Amino acid sequence: EAGVTQFPSHSVIEKGQTVTLRCDPISGHDNLYWYRRVMGKEIKFLLHFVKESKQDESGMPNNRFLAERTGGTYSTLKVQPAELEDSGVYFCASSQDLGQYSGQFFGPGTRLTVL
Amino acid sequence: GQSLEQPSEVTAVEGAIVQINCTYQTSGFYGLSWYQQHDGGAPTFLSYNALDGLEETGRFSSFLSRSDSYGYLLLQELQMKDSASYFCAVRDPGAAGNKLTFGGGTRVLVKP
């Protein structure tokens, strides 16, 4: 079974540019989460999709961040315009949560550097 | 606010036992998870405690005391490949969701 995949693995952009990150969850997982870790800080929750619906977007830092999950499969996270403080590693995770909790499964992350 | 506290770094030798403590203060609580992350890799799910007590999975065990808002991860018979960062995370119902709130991570360095 393929794990959670993310693309790209690294992205270097200039302040003011736009970047779109993609996440493909484990096939069949209805729950998809975005997290990020900025330098020296803990991993922080951004938002949670159940299928194509946003269940919880309380962690989204501001309106420069837009997440979508059309069709309930893969998800994209767009940052527009990017700022220096957006640099960090963006993780995607997925879970099924049928009956007994079995954890969230994380992708390898996208390392975003804003110059 | 939401906070989880764990030591920043632990060093031990191969074959030793390491205990990583985690204390938490969160608005909601379903359970405590532990994740392992090697440099540049994905956080990997290790264990989950929803109820008080000890859960054992091979060389790794995890403990939870909900009354003390405290848990720990026990790494036994340490191996070089166990050198990694370990995160505790509270499974938080959030806004009717299921988010994880993470601690800052404990870097474990295993020496020969």
> Which residue numbers of B have CB closer than 8 Å to A's CBs?
4, 30-31, 33, 35, 40-45, 48, 50, 87, 89, 91, 94-105
pLDDT exceeds 90 at position B93? no
Q: Give chain B's mean pLDDT.
A: 92
C-alpha torsion angle, residues B77, B82, B83, B85 (rounded to 10): -120
Q: What is the pLDDT of residue A99?
A: 63
Report which of residues A49 and A39 the model is more confident about.
Answer: A49
Q: Give chain A's mean pLDDT.
A: 92
| For range A69-98, the mean pLDDT | 93
Please tell me which of the candidates A42, A48, A97 has its beta carbon nearest to residue B99.
Answer: A48
The distance from CA A59 to its chain's CA centroid, rounded to whole angstroms, is 11
| For range A38-65, the mean pLDDT | 91
| For range B59-87, the mean pLDDT | 97
Q: What is the pLDDT of residue B30?
A: 87
One-letter amino acid identity for A111? Answer: R
pLDDT digits (tens, 9 = 90+) for A59-75: 999 999 999 998 889 99
Q: What is the pLDDT of residue A40?
A: 76
Q: What is the pLDDT of residue B94?
A: 62
Q: What is the pLDDT of residue B55?
A: 93
> Does B48 contact A31 at a Cβ distance shorter than 8 Å?
no
> Residue B57: pLDDT band by 50, 70, 90 thresholds?
confident
Q: Which two tokens stand for residue B55?
A: 């859960």
Q: Where are the beta strands (DSSP E) in B26-104?
A: 31-37, 44-49, 53-57, 60-65, 70-75, 84-92, 99-102
DSSP letter for A39, please. Answer: T
Phi, psi of B64 (to 5 degrees): -140, 135
The distance from CA B98 to its chain's CA centroid, rounded to whole angstroms, is 18
Q: Which residues pair with A35 in a beta bridge?
A: A45, A91
> Residue A103: pLDDT band by 50, 70, 90 thresholds?
confident
Q: What is the pLDDT of residue A71?
A: 87
Q: What is the pLDDT of residue A72?
A: 84
Q: Tally C-beta pairs within 8 A across A and B.
A: 72
